[in-house]
Structure 1
Amino acid sequence: MGRLRRLADATPPSRNRYVDLLRALAIILVVLGHWTVTAIGHDAAGQPTGRSALPDLSWAYPLTWAFQVMPVFFLVGGYANAASLTAHRSRGGDATGWLLGRSARLLRPTTVLIIVLATAALVARVLGADPSLIRTVVWSATIPVWFLAAYLAVVPLTPLMYGLHRRYGLRVPVVLAFLVAVGDLGRLLGSDASALSNYLFGWLAVHQLGFAWYDVHAEGLRPPGAGGRAAPTPDAPPAPRGDPGGPPPSVRSAGLRSPRLPLSRRAGWTAMLGGTAVTVLLTGPGPYPVTMINVPGEPLNNAAPPSLALLAVATAQVGLIVLLRGPAGRWLRRDRPWMAVIAVNSVVLTVFLWHLSATILLIGALDAVGLLPTPAAGSAAWLAWRIPWVLMLTVILAALVAVFGPVEARTGRPPAAESAGGAPWRPALTVAGFTAVVFALVDNAVVAPTDAEPLGLPVPALVAYLAGAGILRLLRSGWGSRG
């Protein structure tokens, strides 16, 4: 509590606390969503199994419009990336240094997960466990990294996409949404491959809205006609770990000659009601499924890859975020709520990465002592079991976060991230490192969960991940920064 109190007291007045709250709430909703829809059973060999109960809960499909919060992650990510990139450049840094700095916070907790799971898989194999079973367990534990793969593909494009935003503003996400619609049309005509680009275009569209939100707040910090440092206000952009609390002198929002993101209450209501209405049309008479979380058997998936319907939901969510920002901002001026938000954000990625591992550990423990309940999904017994189930999972996840959370909490901005220049091959090697990591996470996601993998993860994926993360770690240490 003492550390949280010191961090809360040190928060600059310019920090946009609402952005931090959204990130924390999104994580909590993802965790609760995954936990509450879990259905447990046994396979033919008597082994415990887990699956999503959503296919049996069609009445809950509209609820996924609220629990599908990946758009919120990318909105907040766009805001934070624009803020940190602007601050980094104001200190003389380049895009390569910025990318290396961002990779530290994202990959250190992920690397811990990968190494722990691979080590546990190796121990299990030595003890005689079936490689197919090992793969199933590890695949289930690494389900959260599919989101990280998409995000790590978007982050290296931030310098380019933010430049496009500065020139064209909201026209960029409109074009990206159109490209998503083209990909959807290809899916409807029977070509699933034509929509693979939606994995990038869909999330980039929401990420661009985060840029627009940042620029509006950055401009709001500048007195009219001022050319120097902006005066801090309660609506200033956030200070990501290692970044200042407000925009640096280099922020030039006043020079942005393009449509800005409207943040009035009228705009909020328009976005929320309009996005909801479009979603209803697309999922009612339209061809899209109601659920925004993938369900086996549906003709289309809204989240993998992102669809036009998911972008409509994202629009409604942005509208709600705009409507709530005033009351939320005032609430976050109180010490206790803000300290809670700080606590969650200090380990936010750790919570996300390990919450399904907590589920696997609890299922194994209850099965080992013969107390694993397997009521039918959607039954009264299954619904009643949700409360003790979530409480037990919370305890296990808290223990995992206590062990692995300090890795994330101690991650700051590496010294090399501040320097510009260096060897001419550093940018290419940085991109290669990101590419290897993204390939590894995607490869792990697409390889069947029943394949015999003694280390749990496919060997090419494991090698590519360790190579990519190792390259980025070496570059962060300063290698090649002086040519």
Structure 2
Amino acid sequence: MPGLRELAERTPPQRERYVDLLRALAILIVVLGHWMVVVVTGGARGLNGFSALEVLPWGRPITWFAQVMPVFFMVGGFANAASLTSHGRRGGDVQDWLLDRSARLVRPTTALLVTLGAAALIARWAGVDPAQIGRMVWLASIPLWFLLVYLVVVFLTPLMHRLHRRAGPAVPLALVGLVAAGDVARLAFDAPTLQLGNFLFAWLAVHQIGFAWQDGTLPDRPVVAVPLLVGGAAVAVLLTVAGPYPVSMVDIPGAPFGNLSPPTLALLALATAQLGLLLLLRDSGNRRLRRLGPWMAVIAVNSVILTVLLWHMSAFALVAAAVNASGLFPLPRPPGDTVAWVLWKLPWLAVLLMVLGALVAVFGRIERRGAVPSRSRWTPRALCRPRLRATATTVGYAACVLGLLGVADAGPADHGPLGLPTAAVAGFLAGAALLRAARSAVDRRAG
């Protein structure tokens, strides 16, 4: 592959570099947020933990600045719309685009699941308590909930993009209405099951905004950006301060109601304010990224951004286990003096960054290879037929999504030799294999 400097110099002038910057910043903020909010405790019975937001109420308003998953889905909508449009102009079909996207998402995830399973097997063989193994593997697999939703959104992108071209802003407005209906069912009728659709409706609505941003139907002029920023922030304040929604934009374990799982109208209001701010900063951001140094840094982070997201809680689990086993220094837990606790977190974060850097150095190559077409020695000839390849693509995505759903739904307990539900892991790996075979058929046909 070309070097970093060469990639930066070869970047087309029309590329929206600001979007790449936002993607990198969003994921890095998520990583730091998780590292700060998760508190681990140790003792004779092994590791345990809780959320710092449970005991630090002053941290809950700060989550308004740390909750940047809407930004990632907006950026994802922009990037997916640009990629799909470009693919169509070159004569490519929807299935091939989906297969290309799957390589960038599924390969790094496969590496994580296989590694976690192997580590669980080794730990069990070494005599580690199975309950502790399950807890640590669960902790390391927390980022997979995001990938589960994003895979569904990517699979629906061709359909939703067609709806965007036909109906424009009516699509996200209808999705927001469905989110509102889910919230009403939860708050007024105590029917939380009816709110589960918000996991899809809310993130699809935010993703649709990225479509409008990409094709210019959402102008970035201040006359549009300022009302979005002010109006979204005002609605979020009303819903949380005067309304029934919690202030925290990150779920607090044990709380009866949260804004993230599933997403609520309050989170969408915050997303609207974030959109206004991003549009206001767009021109200045693009100007700064015309410089070679900052743009090279953005390219470097984005080349391994999914690896950073997937492995950051594995780094946390490794450091927590090592510290607990060695007893060299106490695990971070909020004391009465919160300032001292925050300062104690600084060396903790430094160690986590070093461990994550080592993991990215090892596994980041897999993500980079996912961006380059690769051929498999084993490619069923039947998958060269468009209809069968389309079916394989759908089944492969479905198997991966269902597998990740099984993993995400598993709690911190003993789930067998792999530390995670065996059937869920097997389902994901089967879907990944099917997608790889279908993708190889595309490469074979092109060759």
TM-score over 0.5 (shorter chain) = yes
Greater shift, 114-123 or 293-302, is seen at 293-302
Distance 1:39 1:375 in 2: 6
Deviation by residue 1:286-339 (Cα, 9 ceiling, x = unmatched): 111111111023232211111111100100110110011111111111111111
TM-score by length of 2: 0.94
Structure 1 residue 413: Cα displacement: 4.7
Greater shift, 425-434 or 8-17, is seen at 425-434
1:54 aligns with 2:53: yes
Structure 1 residue 154: Cα displacement: 0.8
* Amino acid in the other structure paired with 1:90: R
DSSP-derived class of the 2:248 partner:
coil
* Amino acid in the other structure paired with 2:240: T
Structure 1 residue 65: Cα displacement: 1.2
Deviation by residue 1:363-393 (Cα, 9 ceiling, x = unmatched): 1222222123245415333111111111111
Q: Is the Cα–Cα contact under 8 Å of residues 443 and 461 in structure 1 kept in the other structure?
A: yes
Q: What's the counterpart of residue 298 of structure 2?
A: 341
Match of 1:422 among 358, 365, 385: 385
Structure 1 residue 63: Cα displacement: 1.2
Alignment RMSD, CA only?
1.8
TM-score by length of 1: 0.87
Q: What's the counterpart of residue 103 of structure 2?
A: 104
Distance 1:42 1:413 in 2: 43
Q: What's the counterpart of residue 84 of structure 1?
A: 83
Distance 1:52 1:357 in 2: 17
Greater shift, 362-371 or 93-102, is seen at 362-371
1:133 aligns with 2:132: yes
Q: What's the counterpart of residue 124 of structure 1?
A: 123
Identity %: 54
Residues 1:274 and 1:479: Cα distance change in structure 2 (over 3 Å): closer
Distance 1:60 1:124 in 2: 36
Greater shift, 442-451 or 155-164, is seen at 442-451
1:156-305 equivalent positions in 2, closer than 5 A: 156-188=155-187, 189-216=189-216, 260-305=217-262
* Amino acid in the other structure paired with 1:194: L
1:398 aligns with 2:361: no
Count residues in correspondence: 434
Deviation by residue 1:114-141 (Cα, 9 ceiling, x = unmatched): 1111011111112222222211111110
Match of 1:467 among 430, 437, 442: 430
Structure 1 residue 46: Cα displacement: 3.4
Q: Is the Cα–Cα contact under 8 Å of residues 423 and 480 in structure 1 kept in the other structure?
A: no
Deviation by residue 1:66-113 (Cα, 9 ceiling, x = unmatched): 211111111011111111111111111111111000000001111111
Distance 1:372 1:409 in 2: 37
Q: Is the Cα–Cα contact under 8 Å of residues 8 and 296 in structure 2 kept in the other structure?
A: yes
Q: Is the Cα–Cα contact under 8 Å of residues 324 and 331 in structure 2 kept in the other structure?
A: no
* Amino acid in the other structure paired with 2:407: N
Q: What's the counterpart of residue 242 of structure 1?
A: none
Distance 2:33 2:289 in 1: 25
Q: Is the Cα–Cα contact under 8 Å of residues 437 and 465 in structure 1 kept in the other structure?
A: yes
Distance 1:202 1:319 in 2: 18
Distance 1:99 1:151 in 2: 13
1:297-376 equivalent positions in 2, closer than 5 A: 297-374=254-331, 376=333
Match of 1:440 among 395, 399, 403: 403
Distance 2:276 2:320 in 1: 39
Q: Is the Cα–Cα contact under 8 Å of residues 132 and 453 in structure 1 kept in the other structure?
A: no
Structure 1 residue 415: Cα displacement: 7.2
1:151 aligns with 2:150: yes
Deviation by residue 1:197-217 (Cα, 9 ceiling, x = unmatched): 11110000000000001111x
Structure 1 residue 429: Cα displacement: 1.9
* Amino acid in the other structure paired with 2:398: T
